[in-house]
Structure 1
Amino acid sequence: MSRKIRPDAVLVQAVIAGALSFAHLHDIAAAAGQDGWKAWAYPISVDLLLVAAWHRIRTLRADHHAARAAWSWFGTALIASLGANIATAGLLDLNAVPIWLRILVAGWPALAFLGGTLLVHSPTEAPGIVPDAPQPAEELPTQEVELQRDDEPEPAPTAAPELPSASPPAADAPAVPPALLAHAQKIADTHEATTGDPIDRDALRARLGLPAPMADAIATQLQLA
Structure 2
Amino acid sequence: MPAPGRRTVVGRIRPDPVLVQAVIAGALSFAHLHDLAAAAGQDGWKAWAYPISVDLLLVAAWRRLRNDGPSRLAWGWFVIALVASLGANVATAGFLDLRHPPAWLRFGIAGWPALAFLGGTLLAHTRGVAEATDPAAPAEATPAPAPVPDPVAATEPPASPPKKETTDLSAAAPPTEPPRPAPAPAPVPAALVAHARKVADEHRARTGNRIDADTLRARLGVPPQLADAIAAQLT
| Alignment TM-score, normalising by the size of structure 1 | 0.55
Asked whether 1:6 is paired with 2:20, we answer no
Which whole-Å CA distance do the structure 2 matches of 1:97 and 1:178 have between them? 116
Asked whether 1:112 is paired with 2:116, we answer yes
Deviation readout 1:29-76 (Å, 9 max, x if unpaired): 000000000000000000000000000011111xxxx51111000000
Which whole-Å CA distance do the structure 2 matches of 1:43 and 1:52 have between them? 14
Equivalent residues in 2 for 1:23-34, closer than 5 Å: 23-34=31-42
Q: Flag as ranges the 4+ runs of structure 1 deviating above 4 A.
A: none
Does the C-alpha gap of structure 1 residues 91 and 122 become closer, same or farther in structure 2, counting only changes over 3 Å? Answer: same
Q: How many residues align?
A: 134
Q: How well do the aligned residues superpose, as a CA RMSD in angstroms?
A: 2.7
Identical pairs, percent: 67
Alignment match, 2:45: 37
Alignment match, 2:97: 93
Does the C-alpha gap of structure 1 residues 178 and 117 become closer, same or farther in structure 2, counting only changes over 3 Å? Answer: closer
Alignment match, 1:83: 87
Which whole-Å CA distance do the structure 1 matches of 2:90 and 2:71 have between them? 28
1:126 Cα shift? Answer: 2.0
Alignment match, 2:65: 57
Equivalent residues in 2 for 1:177-216, closer than 5 Å: 179=174, 182=176
1:20 Cα shift? Answer: 0.2
Show structure 1 runs of 5+ residues with no match. Answer: 132-176, 187-225
Q: Which amino acid in the other structure matches residue 48 of structure 1?
A: L
Which whole-Å CA distance do the structure 2 matches of 1:178 and 1:25 have between them? 110
1:178 Cα shift? Answer: 6.8
Alignment match, 1:172: none
Asked whether 1:126 is paired with 2:130, we answer no
Which whole-Å CA distance do the structure 2 matches of 1:28 and 1:78 have between them? 15
Deviates more, 1:66-75 or 1:110-119: 66-75
Which whole-Å CA distance do the structure 1 matches of 2:64 and 2:114 have between them? 20
1:127 Cα shift? Answer: 8.6
1:179 Cα shift? Answer: 3.7
